Amino acid sequence: MRLPVYFISDIHLMLSPTRQGIERQQRLFRFFQQIIQTGGSLLIVGDLFNFYFEYPHLIPKMYFEFFSKLHQLKQQGIEIHYVLGNHDYWVLDFVTDTLTTKTYFNDTAFELAGKKFYVTHGDGIIPWDKGYRVLKAIIRNPVFIWFYRWLHPTIGYNFAQWIANRGHQNTHPEAYNLRVQEELKVYASDHIKNGFDYVITGHYHQAVDLAVENGRLVILGDWIHNNSYGYFDGKEFTLRRWEANE
């Protein structure tokens, strides 16, 4: 993986055009230009889309401009690594071969410039979220995916988008956020004790960098409210906000 490395998560690009969604995408495109200028790698830590399900011969037209920009990024020599999330797990070769350098269907770990990273989207970690764990086992089951792919794409996308919009909540009370942080610190502690310097996660829509043992837990935030991203230059990892750097 080439340095510097940019980490983003939870962009939640929408299937239907909205003013907020278009503005979010344009901010992301300007961010891509910054990456082209510096070179390096982009690591997407899940939920790039609010819903994405790939069919063998079809892609959703709403994402066409984004696909073009991401492909341009790759053609400019930027490595694109993609850890799939709970909204965009169901990819095929268009994402894995055409758009990205490498796609990860599970958590990934790597060492870079002497630092060890453990990267996870983060869904299903919180122990009290038992209902989602059951759902995750179903919707990631190969048999379920095979049957769903037989649905007409319009039906499949409309149904899944309806489910995603009903269940999606990206802001929570401060007490809830602190409770999540404490659970994630326990999770991160196990990995840091095993030699990792950084545990990086998305999913929880809060941008925080926390000391855990002799390492760090970084929750990357999102591009809905925070416009936040992680940046590792080979010496130091920092959590930044894009507006402050434009």
Tokens for 117, please give them: 């990273």
Q: What are the structure tokens assigned to 225, written together?
A: 């409210």
Output the six-digit token pair for 178: 């602190």
pLDDT digits (tens), the chain, 246 positions = 999 999 999 999 987 778 888 899 999 999 999 999 999 999 999 999 988 999 998 888 889 999 999 999 999 999 999 999 988 989 999 999 999 999 999 999 999 999 999 999 999 898 888 777 888 888 889 999 999 999 888 888 888 777 666 655 567 788 888 999 999 999 999 999 999 999 999 999 999 999 999 999 999 999 999 999 999 999 999 999 997 455
Domain CATH for 67: 3.60.21.10
Helix or strand (DSSP H, E) at 133: helix 130-139
φ/ψ (deg, to 5) at 29 = -65, -40
Name the residue type at position 91: V
Domain count, the chain: 1
The domain of 31 spans 5-245
